Copies of this chain bind each other. A is one copy, B any other.
Amino acid sequence: MGYFDAASAAPLHPVARQALLASLDEGWADPARLYREGRRARMLLDAAREAAAEAVGCRPDELTFTSSGTLAVHSGMAGALAGRRRTGRHLIVSAVEHSSVLHAADVHRADGGEVTEVAVDRTGAVDPAGYAAALRPDTALACLQSANHEVGTEQPVAEVAAHCRAAGVPLLVDAAQSLGWGPVPEGWSLLAASAHKWGGPPGVGLLAVRKGVRFAPRGPADERESGRAAGFENIPAIVAAAASLRAVRAEAAQEAARLRELTDRIRERVPRLVADVEVVGDPVRRLPGTVTFSCLYVDGETVLHELDRAGFSVSSGSSCTSSTLTPSHVLKAMGVLSEGNVRVSLPPGTPEEDVERFLAELPPVVARVREQLGAPGAVGSAPVGGGDDALVVDALGRRCPIPVIELAKVIGDVPVGGTVRVLSDDEAARLDIPAWCEMRGQEYVGEEPADRGSAHVVRRLS
Contacts and interface: CB of A to CB of B under 8 A. Distances in A.
A222 interface: yes
Interface in A298-314: 304-305, 307-308, 312-314
Given A220-B104, A313-B37, A71 B230 contact: yes
Interface string A208-234: 000000000001111000000011111
A28 B313 contact: no
B220 A74 contact: yes
Interface in A98-129: 99-100, 103-104, 106-107
B30 A20 contact: no
Nearest to A17: B24
Contacts of A220: 74, 100, 103-104, 106-107
A54 to B, nearest CB: 24
Given A34-B322, A35-B304, A220-B100, A67 B231 contact: yes
Interface string A123-151: 00000000000000000000000000000
Given A220-B106, A233-B202, A234-B202, A8 B24 contact: no
A61 B203 CA distance: 22
Interface in A224-260: 230-237
Interface in A65-113: 67-71, 74, 99-100, 103-104, 106-107
Contacts of A222: 70, 99-100, 103
A74 B219 contact: yes
Nearest to A74: B220
A255 to B, nearest CB: 19
A304 B30 CA distance: 15
Contacts of A5: 29-30, 33, 35, 37
Contacts of A219: 74, 107
B202 A236 contact: yes
Nearest to A1: B36
B221 A205 contact: no
B202 A28 contact: yes
A237 B37 contact: no
A194 to B, nearest CB: 7
A11 interface: yes
Interface in A38-81: 38, 67-71, 74
A308 B35 contact: yes
A9 interface: yes
Contact of A71 (B12, B67, B104, B308): B67
Contact of A313 (B8, B35, B305): B35
A396 to B, nearest CB: 28
